């Protein structure tokens, strides 16, 4: 279900706003025009963005309620900020080749795979560390149980197919 942004306009501002509102409302269970702050990541990513955790935190800081940080995010604050994000194409996608290169960097011996231990070490200690659950979930698909390694080329192509 890859939603390509296309090479042309992403649509008028009105259309962008409608898109944002629709996704926002999908998480707004009570019809109160506000969503749980913890769902912001989901919303932003659904709208096609690839923010890092740091970028997300920064966004949150802009849309949070000053009196009640970490609580609910209101649409009226969120909409203009998110519209700008989409218009500016912030938080760009990580293309497949860049992703591949990233794995290759971690594959020191350039043998086409990374051992489970190494991958776990990198992803739970470096960068913006995975939680245990995230690591487990990734491994459940990425790991080849016979060799206990991750053949990253296969993994990437599998995930990319799933996306479409």
What is the rounded CA–CA span in Å between residue 124 and residue 131? 7
Angle at 161 between CA 157 and CA 164, to 5 degrees: 145
Cβ closest to another protein, residue 69 vs residue 129: 129
What is the rounded CA–CA span in Å between residue 116 and residue 48? 30
Phi–psi pair at 136, nearest 5 degrees: -60, -45
Minimum CB separation of residue 54 from another protein in Å reads 5
163 and 2 Cβ atoms separated by less than 8 Å: yes
| Using rule CB under 8 A, residue 9 touches another protein | yes
| Using rule CB under 8 A, residue 83 touches another protein | no
Cβ closest to another protein, residue 68 vs residue 163: 163
16 and 86 Cβ atoms separated by less than 8 Å: yes
How is residue 130 written in tokens? Answer: 């995975």
| Using rule CB under 8 A, residue 137 touches another protein | yes
**Residues in contact with another protein, total (CB under 8 A)?**
56
Which residues of the shown chain bind another protein in the complex (CB under 8 A)? 1-3, 6, 8-9, 11, 14-15, 18-19, 22-23, 25-26, 29-31, 41-42, 45-46, 49-55, 57-58, 93-94, 98-99, 101-103, 105-106, 122-123, 125-130, 134, 137-138, 140-141, 159, 162-163
């Amino acid at each position: 279900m890859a939603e390509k942004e296309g090479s042309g306009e992403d649509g008028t501002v009105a259309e962008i706003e409608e898109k944002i509102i629709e996704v926002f409302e999908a998480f707004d269970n009570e019809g109160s025009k506000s969503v749980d702050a913890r769902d912001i990541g989901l919303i932003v990513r659904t709208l096609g963005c690839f923010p890092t955790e740091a970028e997300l935190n920064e966004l949150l800081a802009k849309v949070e309620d000053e009196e009640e940080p970490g609580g609910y995010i209101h649409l009226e604050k969120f909409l203009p900020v998110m519209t700008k994000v989409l218009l500016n194409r912030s938080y760009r996608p990580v293309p497949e080749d860049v992703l591949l290169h990233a794995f290759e960097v971690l594959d020191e011996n350039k043998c086409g795979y990374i051992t489970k231990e190494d991958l776990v070490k990198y992803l739970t200690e470096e960068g913006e560390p995975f939680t245990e659950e995230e690591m487990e979930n990734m491994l459940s698909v990425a790991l080849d149980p016979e060799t206990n390694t991750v053949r990253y080329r296969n993994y990437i192509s599998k995930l990319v197919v799933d996306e479409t």
